[in-house]
Amino acid sequence: KNQVEQSPQSLIILEGKNCTLQCNYTVSPFSNLRWYKQDTGRGPVSLTIMTFSENTKSNGRYTATLDADTKQSSLHITASQLSDSASYICVVSAGYGNKLVFGAGTILRVKS
């Protein structure tokens, strides 16, 4: 069964600190992996998209990594800001792309 598991379920960090969110997947055939940020009451917004051949991709203070052999991905947030408080969702695209398998998300709270 295609699954995406994320950890931790939730996380609280102090403003300015770094953090890393994890994603493990069992999705086949793998097409690409995406990280989304979802603010409360909003739809998800794309942060990064990585295909099989990409190991890392950055978007400002967000850096995603992908290990296609171990089927793991991480999202590293540097110098966190209060506005980073949101749910971060790992999404894996299976097959021809119209089947996106979503993780349950990691709820991040950045405190001042």
Partner 1 sequence: GAGVSQSPRYKVAKRGQDVALRCDPISGHVSLFWYQQALGQGPEFLTYFQNEAQLDKSGLPSDRFFAERPEGSVSTLKIQRTQQEDSAVYLCASSLLRAGGAKGANVLTFGAGSRLTVL
| Identified binder of partner 1 from the candidate list 11, 13, 49, 68, rule CB under 8 A | 49
11 part of the interface to partner 1, by CB under 8 A? no
Place of tokens 């699954």: 3
- Taking residue 74's Cβ as centre, other Cβ atoms within 10 Å add up to 16
In the complex with partner 1, the residue whose CB is nearer, 12 or 104, is: 104
Helices (H), 1-112: none
Residue 55 burial (10 A CB sphere; 0-12, 13-18, 19+):
exposed
68 part of the interface to partner 1, by CB under 8 A? no
Binding site for partner 1 (CB under 8 A): 4, 31-32, 34, 41-46, 49, 51, 89, 91, 93, 95-100, 102-105
